[in-house]
Structure 1
Amino acid sequence: MSAPRTDKVFAGSVPALYESHLVPLIFDSYAADLARRVALRSVSRVLEIAAGTGVVTRKLAAVLPASVAIVATDLNQPMLDQAAEVGTPRPVEWRQADAMQLPFEDGVFDAVICQFGAMFFPEKSSAFSEARRVLKAGGAFIFNVWDRIEENDFAHTITKSLESMFPKDPPRFLARTPHGYHDLAAIERDLQRGGFSAASIVNTIAARSQAASPRAPAVAYCEGTPLRNEIEARDMSRLGEATDIAERAISRQFGLGPVDGKIQAHIITIER
């Protein structure tokens, strides 16, 4: 499935909803996992790419010594603005940057971190080549990607529910992009094409996605991600209806009260 330009657009009210709804729903535990992996290494300068609203950045700032410099970048300035508004436990450098063309010299970082951003790169091997370029010898590229959508309950349920609303052209953002880059053999090939020659270490980790009500994941996915762009492109007036349909689908499968669903991701570590 080819990805339209809007798959990478996080603007308007999306950054705030992403931070308030999606971060606690699916990102927080995996962010803590990435930060722990970095903290186990000897680092003095760390780069985060596709930092979004800064959930990993905040974890890194909390666990790494104050002497470790943290540079957090994202393609979308509105996401960085939201991240800066939330703040971090100590100063970090926020910088708008395209992962395909990083504005840094060769070999200046001990680790490059990316949480659920690789799926959005239009040319994965080129982005991986850039990550490798800015790493010092022996430095690590640590990133995670979502497993297939069928292993991620709320995303799968919501995607299926919207087929009834737009049967001729259902919105497929979640399956196409966030959950569209889970083939480990393909990821390994892209890393090799990007210049990495070491063997990668892969950990597949299942976790739980929990919310106080079915409304929370419905709003998170339908209004706090580029799925919103797809829905509004079909009919600008029907975003609220789409969110209601998603909420009802979550309610039918997971109940009317607090909801609990599976999420699963792959964590990849490879050294330069």
Structure 2
Amino acid sequence: MPAAYEQYLVPVVFRPFAEDLAARAAALRPRRVLELAAGTGVLTSLLLAAAPSVEVTATDLNEAMVAFGASRAPGAVWQLADAQRLPFPDGGFDLVVCQFGVMFFPDRVAAFTEARRVLAPGGRFLFNTWGPLGTHAFGAALQAGLERAFPVDPPRFLPTVPHGYCDPTVVAADLTAAGFTVEAEQEVTLEGRAASAADVALGFLTGTPVRAAVEERGDGPAVRATVIGEMTARLGAGPVAAPMTAYVFLGAA
């Protein structure tokens, strides 16, 4: 999964927002940065490039992602870690960053409280979260393809998990409950570009938990053909471009 995620999804879906988040992080002039849910290291690499003197500790709950990320961004210290129970002392970092990871935390207030605990006084927590599925043209097209392939019981991973934490009011309330002051909140829409809709479909179908949901339901090749067909009909043949919306939050400890 990490290889497919890196090949098909990172350049199209995640890198544009990682560039945005890395620039925001560098502008804060941090010295010690903790990254949560670092995945394959796209934000990690950009952080190291934007602020070469910064010390970055990159973490993820998935061992395969940590191994892949460590090979991709060796300038960071990589460590397996649960965001809800961070293995770091109080006040050890001046910036905690997370790219599209907070949606996966089972207890977000607990994870945000841990982020605050490991921050020095005055430290910041910078992260982004996806907007509603309808504001992400690639994801919406994929979900339409899944619903066409499985009209009775389509996989619901995209609308319920990556796009299931899309109310800025709820996110801000969780930050406040964890003891943060919400310093900034911004809606950001960026464009993703892919060689084809089929490439994006392959990324979601083989590099995310959608893969398991499809395998549980049956005929993989037929499903893949249906999803690719629907995505191509919606996004176009050949190279495709589509808008994607996220929210960026900055909390102050």
- TM-score of the aligned structures, taking structure 1 as reference length: 0.90
| Alignment match, 2:191 | 208
Query: Is contact 1:222-1:242 (8 Å) kept?
Result: no
1:169-212 deviation digits (Å, cap 9, x = unpaired) = 1101011101110101111111122122x233111111111111
Query: Is contact 1:149-1:155 (8 Å) kept?
Result: yes
1:77 lines up with 2:58 in the alignment? no
How far residue 240 of structure 1 moved from its aligned partner, in angstroms, is: 2.6
In 2, Cα distance between equivalents of 1:52 and 1:139: 23
How far residue 242 of structure 1 moved from its aligned partner, in angstroms, is: 2.1
In 2, Cα distance between equivalents of 1:268 and 1:157: 27
In 2, Cα distance between equivalents of 1:240 and 1:80: 30
How far residue 97 of structure 1 moved from its aligned partner, in angstroms, is: 0.2
Query: Is contact 1:161-1:245 (8 Å) kept?
Result: yes
| Alignment match, 1:144 | 128
1:42 lines up with 2:29 in the alignment? yes
1:162 lines up with 2:146 in the alignment? yes
CA RMSD of aligned residues (A): 1.1
In 2, Cα distance between equivalents of 1:254 and 1:193: 40
1:237-258 deviation digits (Å, cap 9, x = unpaired) = x223222212111211122111
In 2, Cα distance between equivalents of 1:127 and 1:101: 7
Closer/same/farther in 2, CA of residues 42 and 213 from structure 1, 3 Å limit: closer
Query: Is contact 1:223-1:243 (8 Å) kept?
Result: no
| Alignment match, 2:117 | 133
How far residue 44 of structure 1 moved from its aligned partner, in angstroms, is: 1.4
From 7, 16, 24, the counterpart of 1:29 = 16
- Sequence identity (%): 42
Query: Is contact 1:188-1:200 (8 Å) kept?
Result: no
SS of the residue corresponding to residue 182 of structure 2 reads: coil
1:230 lines up with 2:213 in the alignment? yes
Moved more, 186-195 or 130-139: 186-195
Query: Is contact 2:93-2:123 (8 Å) kept?
Result: yes
Closer/same/farther in 2, CA of residues 182 and 77 from structure 1, 3 Å limit: same
Q: How many residues align?
A: 253
Q: Please show how residues 63-212 of structure 1 align to structure 2 within 5 Å.
A: 63-66=50-53, 68-88=54-74, 91-196=75-180, 198-212=181-195
How far residue 217 of structure 1 moved from its aligned partner, in angstroms, is: 0.8
1:122-155 deviation digits (Å, cap 9, x = unpaired) = 0110000000010011111000000000000111
| Alignment match, 2:220 | 239
| Alignment match, 1:20 | 7
| Alignment match, 1:270 | 251
SS of the residue corresponding to residue 66 of structure 2 reads: helix
- TM-score of the aligned structures, taking structure 2 as reference length: 0.97
| Alignment match, 1:55 | 42
SS of the residue corresponding to residue 100 of structure 1 reads: coil
In 2, Cα distance between equivalents of 1:258 and 1:231: 26
Query: Is contact 2:149-2:227 (8 Å) kept?
Result: no
SS of the residue corresponding to residue 147 of structure 2 reads: coil
How far residue 225 of structure 1 moved from its aligned partner, in angstroms, is: 0.8
1:203-230 deviation digits (Å, cap 9, x = unpaired) = 1111111111121111011111111111
Gaps of 5+ in 1: 1-13
In 1, Cα distance between equivalents of 2:204 and 2:63: 20
SS of the residue corresponding to residue 139 of structure 2 reads: helix
In 2, Cα distance between equivalents of 1:111 and 1:149: 29
Which amino acid in the other structure matches residue 173 of structure 1? F
Query: Is contact 1:218-1:244 (8 Å) kept?
Result: no
Query: Is contact 1:73-1:80 (8 Å) kept?
Result: yes
In 2, Cα distance between equivalents of 1:57 and 1:86: 9
How far residue 32 of structure 1 moved from its aligned partner, in angstroms, is: 1.0
Query: Is contact 1:214-1:258 (8 Å) kept?
Result: yes
Gaps of 5+ in 2: none
In 1, Cα distance between equivalents of 2:65 and 2:225: 26
Q: Which consecutive segments of 4 or more residues in structure 1 shift more than 4 A?
A: none
